[in-house]
Amino acid sequence: MPLLAAWLGSLFGSLAAFFAKWFTKRVALTLAAVAAILSVTSLFVAAITALINTLIESVPSWVIIGGSWVLPDNVNVCIAAYASAVVLKWIYDWQTAIIQLKLL
């Protein structure tokens, strides 16, 4: 009987070690993927903001003067927010699809 108990204990111990190793590897990969998504998203937001700020700086003054009659004062912030939202949604959809593929 002690031999059977030792064998079963060894078997369950091996299974527990295998699942613990598998689970920690899975969690580590998921955390790495989330960190990568956050860094890529932050870089894209910074790039879009820099791009819009560059475009606003390079607009001729007559466009700004003429546009001030038609457009509100915060039009550059609105365009930046809209463009950032569109890009972020695309990035989010793309990244979640990749994560889903990697975690299968």
User: 75: which 2 tokens?
Assistant: 């039009």
CA distance 94 to 92: 5
Whole-model pTM: value is 0.47
Each residue's pLDDT tens digit, 17-73: 777 787 788 788 888 877 887 787 777 777 777 777 777 676 777 766 666 677 677
Each residue's pLDDT tens digit, 86-102: 877 887 788 778 877 77
CA distance 71 to 36: 38
User: 52: which 2 tokens?
Assistant: 């819009």
